[in-house]
Chains A and B, each alone.
Chain A
Amino acid sequence: QKEVEQNSGPLSVPEGAIASLNCTYSDRVSQSFFWYRQYSGKSPELIMSIYSNGDKEDGRFTAQLNKASQYVSLLIRDSQPSDSATYLCAVMDGYSTLTFGKGTMLLVSP
């Protein structure tokens, strides 16, 4: 049974702070890792993908992957109220199917 674990939150940060979102996964053969943002009542939107150990930066977002620890994280710098959403961690196996965590709710206060 593949599992992806996330803290459900809510994670509350003030505007301008760094938000740190974490995720662990159980399947060691997982190959690809994604972060999706989901606003209330909307569908998931892909914001980051990472395939190899280390950091990957895209604007205010940095994804970090540690396959040995089976750990993925997402850092959001200079958090804005518009970043308030649920962040879903997703892990892809060799057959291109995604296993999602339950998501972490992020609240950024002005």
Chain B
Amino acid sequence: DAGVTQSPTHLIKTRGQQVTLRCSPKSGHDTVSWYQQALGQGPQFIFQYYEEEERQRGNFPDRFSGHQFPNYSSELNVNALLLGDSALYLCASSTAATMTGTGNQPQHFGDGTRLSIL
């Protein structure tokens, strides 16, 4: 049973460029969340996708955008890269919360994409 898979593993970009990171959720999961983890910090929530729509968003600028596909896989796009965007980008998948918005399903993380901005 494949877990959460992310690609690429590592990426080096320069300031001002754009990047796309990809995630395939664990089998049976339909909700994908993205997190940014800077060195020495805990992961910070970027946004969450369910049924191909952004359901929740953290405190990140519009340069960060995403997409979810019908097969539940997801992409994270970052435009106009800044040095401060250098971090480990983590994708986590889970099963859907209930329609009332409550949910307590554990999230399982992929191995992450380490993004370095020069």
Contact = CB atoms under 8 A, between A and B. Distances in A.
Interface of A: 4, 31-32, 34, 36, 42-46, 49, 51, 88, 90, 92, 94-103
Contacts of A102: 40-42
B55 interface: yes
Contacts of A97: 33, 45, 48, 56, 58
Interface of B: 31, 33, 35, 40-45, 48, 55-56, 58, 88, 90, 92, 94, 97, 101-112
B110 A95 contact: no
A94 B48 contact: no
Contacts of B41: 102
Contacts, number: 70
Contacts of B110: 43
